[in-house]
């Protein structure tokens, strides 16, 4: 898939100005790519239509880098479809907050009931798990096992009436101070009326704040029918997409959203009970497109990084003559590309890791201030920077001497690394620096 899309975009990039015909061609391939990602046909059709409309308009035509614009539009439109970030659980003003997990058998309801319990316990909530999948004794045992693994209490009344169990569980939660009740319900291999009726009765009896549809991301096209049936019967509030650790592109996310219009709030990323994450539309968009925003990164890097400069830099690295002036140069180029975090998050595999990290762009400004407070000689030969020079640099840049020390130390390490890298590069004719 990603090859397909890359090819489609490469075509655009090499052409300079876009014509309507160009967009049509590219969109045909985007369409194929999405279908391959298991997005349902109707959703793909609507998506391509709205993206084309935006792309054919002035936005792209008048832009200086048309390909860059199209990539952005495709990505933006995917994000928009998948809803806004940070769709959190709405807690009841009068506890307990009642959540009901629904979905087909094997989707991951029981596992994710426990994952959610653990997730909420970390936020100082006191969830209660409720065993309302009463048809197989093994299902109750399974909930007890995962419940004890995460340290959450499990309420069960054996194979009784699920409606009565749910009601009793809520009384129990009130008595014992559980502020969240997570109801694990039965599933079937296929949608059937009896199941839907039972879920409707539980819903009517306990009025959950959050009816969460659990969907296996690997089910692809079928996800549409499943979501439609559950939504029609229960009017769900949100979706939890499981098994995203598999090799699926996750086209199901797009389909489910288009059909229900309800946000995906969490995703399941594995069998372990801490493998759950809040949903991030832009990550999902990258995943569906299969390119981790690489194209945007490449575009940005290309506009900001002047080829000649890159060559010079490479030569300097090879000759070990990279000094603080070069560092300053590099920093300006990075700044032209956008924020550090934004930049890092576009590198595939890195995005997820730094998502919740606070990367402080001010650090760059501080470093810049310190380097500009150095004399030309000091920048070329940092080793001459003695304590009195350090004090002067610190005073000049409004930083502390420790900050200057840290910068010098980091620079030294950088030089060492470059030495190693240039060793590896000998013989190779790497014309451009790759990020
Ligand atoms: P339920 O029938 O909907 O209650 O589904 P279960 O919670 O029993 O899960 C069915 C199977 O899928 C179990 O073997 C789980 O370990 C597995 N499973 C659930 N969620 C995930 C996930 O996010 N990733 C992976 N790889 N497996 C999962
Ligand atoms: Mg289950």
Q: Which of ligand 1's atoms lies nearest the C-alpha of 276? A: 23
pLDDT of res. 136: 86
Residue 185 marked as a ligand binder: yes
Q: What is the pLDDT of residue 125?
A: 96
Q: At what angle do helices 307-319 and 401-425 cross, to 10 degrees?
A: 90
Please determine, for the modelled complex, whether the ipTM score is greater than 0.95.
yes
The protein residue with its alpha carbon nearest to ligand 1, atom 10, reads 106
118 neighbors 110 (Cβ within 8 angstroms): no
Which tokens go with 94?
Answer: 């009068």
| Ligand 1 pocket test, candidate residues 105, 106, 112, most atoms within 8 A of CB | 106
CA 86 / ligand 2 centre spacing (Å): 27
Residues 5 and 33 sit within 8 Å (Cβ to Cβ): yes
Q: Please report the pLDDT score of residue 288 as a whole number.
A: 80
pLDDT of residue 307: 56
Q: What is the pLDDT of residue 67?
A: 55
Distance CA 188, CA 107 (A): 10
CA–CA separation, 35 and 267 (whole Å): 22
pLDDT for 272: 94
Tell me whether strands 264-268 and 180-185 are parallel, antiparallel or unpaired.
Answer: unpaired
Residues 351-395: pLDDT tens digits?
555 555 566 667 777 888 899 899 989 998 999 999 999 999 999
pLDDT at 14: 45
Ligand 1 touching residue 108 (CB < 6 A)? yes
For residues 128 and 153, the answer to whether their CB atoms sit within 8 Å is: yes
- How close is the Cα of 88 to the center of ligand 1, in Å? 22
- 172: CA distance to ligand 1 center in Å? 27
State CA 1 to chain mean position distance. Answer: 19
CA nearest 196: which of 97, 104, 98, 99?
Answer: 104
Question: Which CB contacts under 8 angstroms, 24+ apart, belong to 22-27?
Answer: 22/66, 23/52, 23/55, 23/56, 23/60, 23/70, 24/52, 26/70, 27/51, 27/52, 27/55
pLDDT of residue 309: 63
Using 50 as the pLDDT threshold, list the residues of the chain that sit under it: 1, 13-15, 58-64, 292-299, 301-302, 348-349, 425-435
Ligand 1 centre distance from Cα of residue 109 (Å): 7
pLDDT at 324: 82
Q: Is 105 in the pocket of ligand 1 (CB under 6 A)?
A: yes
Please tell me if the CB atom of residue 187 comes closer than 6 angstroms to any atom of ligand 1: yes
Which tokens hold the place of 35? 């279908």
Q: CB of 115 closer than 6 A to ligand 1?
A: no
Write down the H helix ranges in 102-161. Answer: 109-122, 137-150
Q: State whether the Cα torsion 370-375-376-378 is positive or negative.
A: negative
Q: Write down all domains in the chain, each with its CATH number in brackets.
A: 2-81 (1.20.120.140), 97-289 (3.40.50.300), 295-425 (1.10.260.30)
Q: Does the annotation flag 243 for ligand binding? A: yes
Give me the pLDDT at residue 298, please: 42
- Flag whether 220 is marked binding: no
Question: What's the pLDDT score for residue 182?
Answer: 98
**Confidence at residue 206, expressed as pLDDT on a 0 to 100 scale:** 97
- Find the 34 Cα to ligand 1 centroid distance in Å: 26
């Amino acid at each position: 898939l990603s090859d397909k899309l890359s090819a489609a975009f490469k075509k655009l990039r090499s052409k300079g100005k876009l014509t309507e015909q160009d967009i049509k061609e590219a969109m045909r391939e985007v369409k194929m790519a999405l279908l391959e990602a298991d997005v349902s046909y109707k959703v793909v059709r609507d998506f391509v239509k709205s993206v084309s409309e935006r792309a054919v308009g002035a936005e792209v035509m008048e832009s200086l880098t048309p390909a860059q614009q199209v990539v952005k539009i495709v990505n933006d439109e995917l994000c928009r479809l998948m809803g806004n970030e940070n769709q959190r659980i709405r807690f009841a003003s009068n506890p307990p907050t009642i959540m009901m997990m629904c979905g087909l058998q094997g989707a991951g309801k029981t596992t994710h009931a426990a994952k959610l319990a653990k997730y909420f316990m970390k936020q100082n909530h006191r969830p209660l798990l409720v065993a309302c999948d009463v048809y197989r004794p093994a299902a109750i045992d399974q909930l007890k096992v995962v419940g004890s693994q995460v340290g959450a209490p499990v309420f069960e009344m054996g194979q009784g009436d699920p409606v009565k169990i749910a009601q009793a569980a809520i009384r129990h939660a009130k008595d014992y101070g559980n502020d969240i009740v997570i109801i694990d319900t039965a599933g079937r291999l296929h949608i059937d009326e009896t199941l839907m009726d039972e879920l409707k009765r539980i819903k009517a009896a306990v009025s959950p704040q959050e009816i969460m549809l659990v969907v296996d991301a690997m089910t692809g096209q079928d996800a549409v029918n499943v979501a439609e049936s559950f939504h029609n019967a229960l009017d769900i509030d949100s979706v939890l997409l499981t098994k995203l650790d598999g090799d699926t592109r996750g086209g199901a996310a797009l389909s489910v959203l288009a059909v229900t219009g309800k946000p995906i709030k969490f995703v399941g990323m594995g069998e372990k009970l801490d493998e759950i994450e809040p949903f991030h539309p832009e990550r999902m968009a990258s995943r569906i497109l299969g390119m981790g925003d690489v194209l945007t990164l490449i575009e940005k890097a290309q506009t900001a990084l002047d080829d000649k400069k890159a060559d010079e830099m490479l030569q300097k690295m090879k000759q070990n003559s990279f000094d603080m002036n070069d560092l300053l140069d590099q920093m300006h180029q990075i700044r032209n590309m956008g924020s550090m975090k934004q930049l890092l998050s576009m590198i595939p595999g890195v995005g997820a890791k730094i998502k919740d990290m606070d990367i402080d762009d001010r650090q760059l400004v501080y470093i810049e201030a310190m380097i500009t407070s150095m004399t030309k000689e000091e920048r070329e030969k940092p080793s001459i920077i003695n304590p009195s020079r350090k004090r002067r640099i610190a005073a000049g840049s409004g930083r502390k001497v420790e900050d200057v020390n840290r910068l010098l130390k980091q620079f030294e390490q950088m030089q060492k690394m470059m030495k190693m890298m240039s060793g590896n590069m000998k013989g190779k004719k790497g014309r451009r620096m790759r990020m």
